[in-house]
Each structure stands twice: as C-alpha cells, then as structure tokens.
Amino acid sequence: MDWLRCEFSPLVYAELYRLLSKRRDFAEPLGFRLGEINYSIDWLEEATGAYEAKWAHDLHYLTGDSIADFALTQPGHAELATWLLAGLSARGSCYDLSSDLATAVLERASRDVPGLRSPLHASVSPAIYGWTLGRIVGDEELPAAPAALPSDENARKAFVGFMQHVLLLQSLAPPWPEMMTTATYWRGYGIAEALLPEHGNGGMALRQLINEASRSMAPSMYSNLSRYFQDFNTLRHAVSHIADDDSRPRFVEVADAIQEWPDLRMAVVGLTQFVFQEVANELRETPPRSVRPGVWDTLLHELATDW
C-alpha cells in the first residue's frame, strides 16, 4: 500500500533538522542519540544542508502536480528522523515542533513551487504525534501514517484498517452510515488492547495510554482527549449491547453521536496519539534495522545531485 509509506520531500527533512538544530534544550538528548550511531550534534546542520541542496536541485524539475514524484523513497530517511525524535520523548509536548514543522514546510513549498494546490500532497504534509514522525494521508488533517508501525502484528493491522476506514468515511457525504461510525468504538478499544496486551483488557490499556499521552500533548489538547476518552469504554458497551440498560447510555443516543468529521475527529486524534506514542516507546529501546552506524552514508546516495 503506497499511501502507508512515509516518503517525504527533502524539504520536510531540511526544515525538521533546521528546527531541531535551533533548539538548545534538545542538544543534549539529540547529541546522546546521535552518539549511539557515531555522529555528533553537528550532524544536524550537515543533514539540513544536504536535504536543502536536494530540494534546490529538484526545484528545477518539479511542478505543483509532480511534487510527489520527488519524494525520497528510502525508508531510512523517515526511520532515522523518527528514531531521533523518539529520543526527545522526555522533553514534554511535541505539539509546537509539529506545528512549526508543518508551517515551515507549507510556507517554503508555497513560495518555491508555482501552481502548488491545497490540500498539500502527503509528501509535504508532516505531523508529529507522541514524538513519532508521520505524514498526513487524505484531505483532512488526519489520519496520519507513522514512519514506523507498531511491532505487534495485530496492532499494525488494526490501525491500518482504522486509517482505511477513516479515509473511506471522509470520502462520503454526511451523515455517515451508522454502523460505519459506531465501528470507531469497538476498533478503538481493540487497538488499545493490542498496544498494551499485558493489561488483559482494553479499559485498563486505555487508561494507561491516556496517562502517557499527557507527556507529549499540549495541555489543552490533552484535556480534550482525556475528557473524550473518559467514557469511551462505556460507549463501546452501548454499541455492542443494543438493549436498554441503566448501567450505560442508550444505543440510539450513542449511534447519533458521530455523523460527520467533527464528531469523529477526537477519536482519530486519540487513536493516532496512542499508536504513535507507543511506536516512540518501542524505538527508544530498539532502533529500526536501517538505523545503525553509517546510515547517513547510505542515505546520501539518494540525495546526490552531481552524478
């Protein structure tokens, strides 16, 4: 599935590494992270220059319609970037960095590429959730595909299916079919259970995932997410058990709660956050196979402009 591959324009990496190199509070953890693969903190400026040169070179050929054709296809680019970001997960919210990155890419792309249309192609639509790099797929600000998927096969397949489901809903005129919207509750519960199977049930897993989200979300966003998911498990019961029961909301009330994108958005934000933050947790301990000493030499081959 091509849409799942986290392939970005070199502009995204140029702006990401430029932003990271300017943050003094990131210097220590990034320096330690880079040291694990035998690079120094100065690598950030080197990488910024290399991606910038590739972007400048490609500008001679690309157009607003062909920008996707110039995305970098080696998965190591996105995997290295998100492995570095995972090392910052103790630094609080990644919201500002994500927003600054998206803004910088949009401004540069709009200035440099004549005829660029909105919404931007996924190759120039980065987002950072839970200190994992991802790219926006579709016409809305979500769903987002992460640079690396969870290691658990069940969680991977469930989240990919969820993204496909959301993309399909976004292509339909509201109000959406009831069974396609209430599916959010049982799939969301299942994803939580797959991400933290050691808890034995999705309710306990959801509580931990919500607590973990506070470390990397902006306070206002976290407050909204926490409030939304507080009754998520109860709502799942309401759509799984349709008969009236005083212990839970009525099915008809829950079924009417999601009919179009604004009603679904917070569920997508939360499940994206949960999956991305668990990817970052995994990457802190175990890097992707492509991330090893010498990885930059491999990636530079795709950035060459003077064959």
**Tokens coding 95:** 């919201």
Model confidence pLDDT, tens digit, residues 151-196: 999 999 999 999 999 999 999 999 999 999 999 999 999 999 999 9
Together in a domain, 118 and 170: no
Residue 118's pLDDT is what? 82
Helix, strand, coil % in the chain, rounded to nearest 5: 60, 5, 35
Q: What is the DSSP letter of 269?
A: H
Could you tell me the pLDDT band of residue 90, with boundaries at 50, 70 and 90?
confident
Render pLDDT for 207-259 as a digit per residue (tens, 0 to 9): 999 999 999 999 999 999 999 999 999 999 999 999 999 989 999 999 999 99
- Percent of the residues in the chain that have a pLDDT greater than 90, as a whole number: 90
Residue 37 and residue 140 in one domain: yes
- Quote the CA–CA distance of 2 and 294 in Å, as a whole number: 27
Looking at the structure, do residues 45 and 108 belong to the same domain, yes or no? Answer: yes
- Mention every residue, 6+ apart, whose C-beta is less than 8 A from residue 66: none
**176, 295: one domain:** no
For residue 45, give its domain range.
2-148+288-303
Per the confidence metrics, is the pTM higher than 0.75? yes
* Residue 307 pLDDT greater than 80, yes or no: no
Helices (H), the chain: 10-22, 27-35, 43-58, 75-86, 95-112, 153-170, 178-195, 202-213, 219-229, 232-240, 251-255, 261-285, 295-303
Same domain, 9 and 139: yes
Q: Is pLDDT of 300 > 90? A: yes
Alpha helices in 196-218 (DSSP H): 202-213
Q: Do 18 and 44 fall within a single domain?
A: yes
Report the candidate in 131, 268, 277, 127 with the shortest Cα–Cα distance to residue 195. 277
In the block, tokens 């995204």 appear at: 12
134, 75: one domain: yes
